[in-house]
Amino acid sequence: MKFSEIVQKLDVPFHSLTSNVELDPEITGLAPIDEAPTGTLSYIEGGKFTAMVNKTTASAVILPPDVQLQEQAIERGIAWLADPEPRLLFAKAIALFYKPFRPDVGIHPSAVIHPSVQIGRDIYVGPNVVIQAGVKLGNEVCIHPNVVIYPRTEIGERTVLHANCTIHERTIIGANCVIHSGAVIGAEGFGFVPTKSGWFKMEQSGCTVLEDGVEVGCNSTIDRPAVGETRIAQNTKIDNLVQIGHGCQIGSNCALAAQVGLAGGVKVGNNVLLAGQVGVANQAQIGNGAIATAKSGIHNDVEPGAIVSGVPAVSHKIFLKASAIYSRLPEMYQFFKQIQRHNSEK
């Protein structure tokens, strides 16, 4: 694909063709800026990568709106596109070269589908899929091999269920969702009541709801509650190996990184970011736009827009100050020992 074709398809107003029409290389693929061979398109985001303009062998790059970087690229014979969000534009460029695997429409003969299942048009159901009574499948749903869907579940249009995921009873999944391999949606929450004779199992009669555009990573679990619902609002993205407990309410446009764990009843606002291995205690509430950095342990409510770190989680600014002191603890300990020794000799 010619560079000029990419410019046209991405509809980018700022590019090198404006002043260098002859610089129109053939682009055969995409690559990271530090590994990009000739014939590829790459991108630069952030100041620490700007030096790569003078090192990369890519034939074209996506740059931030920086005239100096654009001039450097032209001097090296590299075509460029400029955008305030280079990474986002690069993501759009990937879609020009790569389309995810999508099997042909049809139902494999080994699939077991209850007669009461409502099936939309243009769906794919792979080998060894089991779909139980009362399930509703929207149009263009794609169900890969070995998926099990329990009774009275609803799957929205164009949703993709990857191989070996399990959808438990009464779960509602919206349109354009993606559930990756090994994920379990709507399984029983961890509900046991202590008694003198041991644990009494509380049946989990609630349901789990995933709104439109939700994505759930491999081997993640989202539990249903004893009563009511666990709900993940639209366009929230959940990484691999995430545990969301019974009765949690997650807002829209959130991102939960790998190994995040939410105890039961947690409420998360909109546009919240939880980095890897964040743990949130039972019933805690996290406000809109809050960020928890990696391995934070959240035991109490977090204000909207706050950035928290550490265990237990505190303001990120306080955490940075405490971290700086932590590295000096051996030195401080020796100092206090000297003071103690001095006082004891008086």
Listing DSSP states for 107-146 in one string gives E-TT-EE-TT-EE-SS-EE-TT-EE-TT-EE-TT-EE-TT
Per-state percent for the chain, helix, strand, coil, to nearest 5:
20, 30, 50
Q: For residue 183, how many other CB atoms are within 10 A of its CB?
A: 25
Beta-carbon contacts of 336 under 8 Å, excluding residues fewer than 6 positions away, are none
- Set 246, 299, 316, 342: catalytic member: 246
Using a 10 angstrom Cβ sphere, with 0-12 exposed, 13-18 middle and 19 or more buried, the burial of residue 248 is buried
Cis peptide before 312 (omega within 30 of 0): yes
Active site residue 246: yes
CA 163 to chain centre: 19
Q: For residue 196, how many other CB atoms are within 10 A of its CB?
A: 4
Q: Which residues have a catalytic role annotated?
A: 246
